[in-house]
Amino acid sequence: MKNHFLFPNSFKKIGWILFVPSFIFSLYILTIDDSFTIDALNINVLAIYNDGLFKSNNAFFKIIENNIGDELYVIGLIVGGILIGFSKLKNEDEMISKIRYESLVWATYFNYAIIILFTIFFFGIGYYSILMFNTFTLLLFFIIRFHYKIYQLNKISNDDE
């Protein structure tokens, strides 16, 4: 079976290399030290729009100084998650494709059910934080369920031998 939309299997390793450190740094920043920054990552960047957050200097297309650590973690999480979730397995067949499809559908339903619950019960800045985390949760739920189902399939196959 030819799959046009999957990356080669070797990309999965690159995905893990990007995802794991980004995930660990993100958890560290969120749970232990939210002011953690690396000074070397303070650079001038082009901001298409900068609201100045606590300042009144809203601007379009302006060069600003910014610590790009959080942007690097987000990119690492997203690109790593995509490479992990959408790289071929060594033995990619129709059954694996079916599991991949079902896991993606399940993760989508589960993710949006969580968004609906949080929309009903969370308010203010906490709600916006949840929406920010939701950028990664669909990929995370997909990866967890897909690999769990593959584990179950391999366990059943090994028990039959």
Q: Mean pLDDT, 10 residues at a time, over the chain (161 residues)?
A: 79 96 86 77 85 67 84 92 94 91 96 94 87 89 96 84 61
Whole-prediction pTM: 0.82
What pLDDT score does 150 carry? Answer: 94
DSSP strand pairing (42-50 vs 59-67)? antiparallel
Reduced 3-state DSSP string for 36-81: CCCHHHEEEEEEEEECCCCCCCCEEEEEEEEECHHHHHHHHHHHHH
What pLDDT score does 87 carry? Answer: 94
What pLDDT score does 50 carry? Answer: 79
Q: How far apart are CA 86 and CA 142, in angstroms?
A: 10
Q: How far apart are CA 10 and CA 88, in angstroms?
A: 8
